[in-house]
Amino acid sequence: MCGIVGYIGSREATDVLIDGLRRLEYRGYDSAGAAVSYNNEIQIVRAEGKLKELESKITKNPLNGTLGIGHTRWATHGRPSETNAHPHRAGDIVLVHNGIIENHQKLRAYLSKKGHTFKSETDSEIAAQLIQQRMFDGLSMEKAFCKVLSEIEGSYALVVLNQKEPDRLYVARNGSPLVVGLGKNENFVASDIAALIAYTKNVIFLEDKDFGIVTRDGVKIFDGKGKQVKRPVKEVTWSRTTAEKGGYKHFMLKEIFEQPQVIADTLLGRVIQGKQGEKNQQKIILENMDALFGPKNKPIPFDKIFILACGTSYHSGLVGKYFIEEMSRLSIQVDLASEFRYRNPVIDKKTLVIGISQSGETADTLAAMTDAKKKGAKLLSICNVLESSIPRLSHATLYTRAGPEIGVASTKAFTTQLTVLLLLALYLGRRTKKMPTQDFEEALKELVRLPDRLEKMLKTFGNISQIADRHKNRSSYLYLARGANYPIALEGALKLKEISYIHAEGYAAGEMKHGPIALIDEGMPVVVVIPQDRVYEKVLSNIEEVRARGACVIALGNTGDKILQTKAQEVILVPKAPWYLTPILMSIPLQLLAYHIADKKGTDVDQPRNLAKSVTVE
Ligand code: AGP
């Protein structure tokens, strides 16, 4: 959702702000703005719509100066408009804000009584007016800022300029991420490291309740009690090029093609094969898992395991259930985080909650995990963003190594989540001794071969673009599968809806006759995931049922499946693989199908309407 960039140094601030905001565009927004300080005066330019609108306004009304803040806003309080766009100003105070000020009505009433008038409908403007009020009350800027932080309730990442202090940025975070990037005689602030990686690899992640002062020469950070603290400087491993399109038409397409590499990265150092014949040399090494699951010779200390997530991450959790239950015989319950947080689940000290989130900032997942932690559960997160809120809350984290995912529709983050879940299932399979050694060793070999296999497979999908062309104008799609591929059908349908705006439903193939079959009419595309596995025959019968009602079957099957060629109008083939790899293999052609349909329809593939990459509100 909203994005923040701040800069102080010797470059033209506007260039850094626009470049940084562009790198945050993927988060989703509906207006943008920037403020730059020059000669003790702060000028603000804001625009409704995309960054290019802001840029064209800046071209007409240049913002010069080497200190500035920028923002992309995803409307929560107040419609998307220029007046509601950030930065907001109250006298000398100019600020940008991410998050929600929950007591904004009370504060607005208080400030109105004091004579303040408001230009916008936002909760954020209130923070600017309140700082100004506290300075009217006689406090210094620093004290006024601290006082306001204690008065506002809710979540915030705030970056504030004071027109009278053109040598510093005031920053604070609580619940919404904020990162300081360290340069030489220049420093940066952003809501997301993607905005900074073009400039620096050294970053400081602020903790909740921290506030700080960023100057050209350094950063001073204070904790919630006002005590000066040293936060560690971390090195970011994401490279600048991973956040650029690199010749691809869209980020999403680039990210689809990055999957062999990022899956290889995710496996790196975690699968140990040892030499042939050497006993006990084949293993999975997962960071912090021994601490979480306790000594190897003791039973696992959990009697309930929940997986919580939203959207695509929820789909990977559903696949994870198949992996973990089959390999370790541990029982798993998968919940939508937004539902879990409002029911009264049975949780105690013997509960493990596995939270899955690409961004690590999804409000529902964060809240559900926070509640579970309060009730005594241990938390394990699977996440793509270093030091984001969900890993920080968790007792242990397994990072996916997908690199920055810019396309709003998740692709490589999803398949790396599946990879981590498979590693976790194999690890647990060994811990519970439910997975036979031979199967385990075979699985490790298969995993090591996977990136190469994906690389080759990606070269064979030339026909998907033609299939997309033939079916792009249909108004409704059904996606069917069974077993561990059933969540892949859900995910395939979600991808199509998100980026092409075509209605699509994913269903367990066996459930079709209990309702959705009524939808089928002449020519309706039904995408069926049908690898040659233990439910192959069953899915084949489902194909017959939909064909008999006039559906046009687009089947995703295995290379060499001659029967399928006679049953489906369109066939996409992937190499035959063990059951636990098919969800990863099958995901990729489904991503490509959605991509090509959307591209041919001309929708905004990387930033679909109404969607945000990191959903930091409920
Ligand atoms: C993915 O294509 C979606 N944009 C969305 O469903 C996403 O997976 C969901 O919002 C959860 O995000 P997270 O993984 O960052 O928690």
- The string of pLDDT tens digits covering residues 127-161 is 999 999 999 999 999 999 999 999 999 889 999 99
For 49-72, the pLDDT digits (tens) are 989 999 999 999 999 999 999 999
Query: What's the whole-model pTM score?
Result: 0.80
Nearest CA residue ID for atom 10, ligand 1: 311
From 319-333, 465-479, 525-539, 600-614, the region with the lowest mean pLDDT? 600-614
Q: Please provide residue 539's backbone torsions phi and psi, each rounded to the nearest 5 degrees.
A: -70, -35
- Please name the residue ranges forming H helices in 344-411: 363-374, 389-393
Q: Is 263 exposed, middle or buried (0-12, 13-18, 19+ CB in 10 A)?
A: buried
CB 180 within 8 A of CB 207: no
- Which amino acid, residue 77? H
Nearest CA residue ID for atom 9, ligand 1: 311
User: How confident is the model at residue 24, as a pLDDT?
Assistant: 86
CB 166 within 8 A of CB 142: no
User: Of 329, 330, 363, 323, nearest to 583 (Cα)?
Assistant: 323
- Please name the residue ranges forming H helices in 46-140: 51-60, 104-113, 124-136
Split at pLDDT 50, 70, 90, the class of 193 is: confident
Split at pLDDT 50, 70, 90, the class of 279 is: low
pLDDT value at 557 more than 60: yes
Residue scoring higher pLDDT (69 or 609):
69
User: How confident is the model at residue 276, as a pLDDT?
Assistant: 57
DSSP state of 175: B
User: How confident is the model at residue 616, as a pLDDT?
Assistant: 73
- Percent of the chain whose predicted confidence (pLDDT) is above 90: 79
Split at pLDDT 50, 70, 90, the class of 353 is: very high
Tell whether ligand 1 has an atom less than 6 A from the beta carbon of residue 381: no
SS3 163: coil
614 Cα–ligand 1 center, Å: 7
Q: Could you give the CA distance from residue 580 to residue 436 in angstroms, rounded to a whole number? A: 15
Split at pLDDT 50, 70, 90, the class of 287 is: confident
Nearest CA residue ID for atom 5, ligand 1: 311
- Which amino acid, residue 361? E
User: How confident is the model at residue 278, as a pLDDT?
Assistant: 61
Q: Over range 63-92, report the average pLDDT.
A: 90
Q: Is the peptide bond before 87 cis (omega within 30 degrees of 0)?
A: yes
pLDDT value at 291 more than 90: no
User: How confident is the model at residue 275, as a pLDDT?
Assistant: 65
Q: How many CB atoms lie within 10 A of CB 465?
A: 15
pLDDT value at 295 more than 70: yes
Q: Over range 171-197, report the average pLDDT.
A: 93
Tell whether ligand 1 has an atom less than 6 A from the beta carbon of residue 616: no
Residue scoring higher pLDDT (513 or 409):
409
Mutation pick for ligand 1 pocket among 358, 365, 610 (CB with most ligand atoms within 8 Å): 358
Catalytic annotation present for 613: yes
pLDDT value at 618 more than 80: no
Q: Over range 422-448, report the average pLDDT.
A: 95
Strands 187-190 and 179-182: antiparallel
Tell whether ligand 1 has an atom less than 6 A from the beta carbon of residue 409: yes
Catalytic annotation present for 2: yes
Q: Over range 208-223, report the average pLDDT.
A: 96
Q: Over range 211-223, report the average pLDDT.
A: 96
386 Cα–ligand 1 center, Å: 16
From 22-26, 187-191, 338-342, 383-387, the region with the lowest mean pLDDT? 22-26
User: How confident is the model at residue 1, as a pLDDT?
Assistant: 67
Q: How far is CA 99 from CA 352, 361, 396, 519, in A?
A: 29, 11, 26, 41
| Percent of the chain that is helix, strand, coil (3-state, to 5) | 40, 25, 40
Structure tokens at 26: 């993927």
User: How confident is the model at residue 29, as a pLDDT?
Assistant: 81
Q: Could you give the CA distance from residue 361 to residue 193 in angstroms, rounded to a whole number? A: 13
Strands 3-8 and 187-190: antiparallel
pLDDT value at 586 more than 60: yes
Tell whether ligand 1 has an atom less than 6 A from the beta carbon of residue 359: yes
User: How confident is the model at residue 75, as a pLDDT?
Assistant: 77
Q: Over range 90-104, report the average pLDDT.
A: 93
CB 3 within 8 A of CB 71: yes
Split at pLDDT 50, 70, 90, the class of 362 is: very high
Structure tokens at 510: 């066996």
Which is the closest atom of ligand 1 to the Cα of 409?
A: 2
- Please name the residue ranges forming H helices in 268-378: 289-293, 311-328, 337-340, 363-374
